Structure 1
């Protein structure tokens, strides 16, 4: 295991940074995972206008979920979300970044 993988494991285990969530793939049993939630605002240019919207994005370890798919369900603190779009892996292929929408 690389030093970066060890550091990421420590971050995902830290209760101040990551939280428990439940991952539910279509036709599969629910799986407990750890996620780092990023609920940032997004500004999008549309012609001459700038649109503001809330986004829900999470990071999760590839070691926990090898192939998340659009429309798989993730529950965080009692709130249900569906994966929106294709998940993207980081350069080292250790972490997925996933956009969510309310279920």
Structure 2
């Protein structure tokens, strides 16, 4: 384990920084508890001469906790349920997934 990976383990274990969530696979009956950083940045989209600001919900999750997230999987954080949309992206060190979410219907 690298020093960076060990630091990530400590950061994700800190209750002030990460929260516990439940991941549920869209294709199998598998589910597991994971730790995530929840982010809600505004996204600016341009359309013609207009610019639109929209809310987003994203989470960062360790690859060690969730090796293969897929579009359509469900992530439950507290009482809120979200569906993974788009393709999850890993960081440069290949230790963390950034996952774009939308409210589950």
TM-score, structure 2 as length reference: 0.94
Q: Report the Cα distance in structure 1 between the residues aligned to 2:76 and 2:47, rounded to whole angstroms.
A: 31
Q: Report the Cα distance in structure 2 between the residues aligned to 1:16 and 1:45, rounded to whole angstroms.
A: 35
How far residue 70 of structure 1 moved from its aligned partner, in angstroms, is 0.1
Question: 1:50-71 CA deviation, whole Å, 9 max, x = no partner?
Answer: 1010000000000011110000
Task: Give the equivalent residue in structure 2 for 1:91.
Answer: 92
How far residue 44 of structure 1 moved from its aligned partner, in angstroms, is 1.4
Q: Secondary structure at the match of 1:85?
A: strand
**Is 1:76 paired with 2:58?**
no
Structure 2 spans left out of the alignment, 5+ residues:
none
Indicate the RMSD between aligned Cα atoms, in angstroms: 0.8
Task: Give the equivalent residue in structure 2 for 1:11.
Answer: 11
TM-score, structure 1 as length reference: 0.96
Q: Report the Cα distance in structure 2 between the residues aligned to 1:58 and 1:3, rounded to whole angstroms.
A: 23
Task: Give the equivalent residue in structure 2 for 1:58.
Answer: 59
Q: Secondary structure at the match of 2:84?
A: strand
Task: Give the equivalent residue in structure 2 for 1:23.
Answer: 23
How far residue 28 of structure 1 moved from its aligned partner, in angstroms, is 2.3
Structure 1 spans left out of the alignment, 5+ residues:
none
Moved beyond 6 Å, runs of 4+: none
Q: Report the Cα distance in structure 2 between the residues aligned to 1:61 and 1:70, rounded to whole angstroms.
A: 17
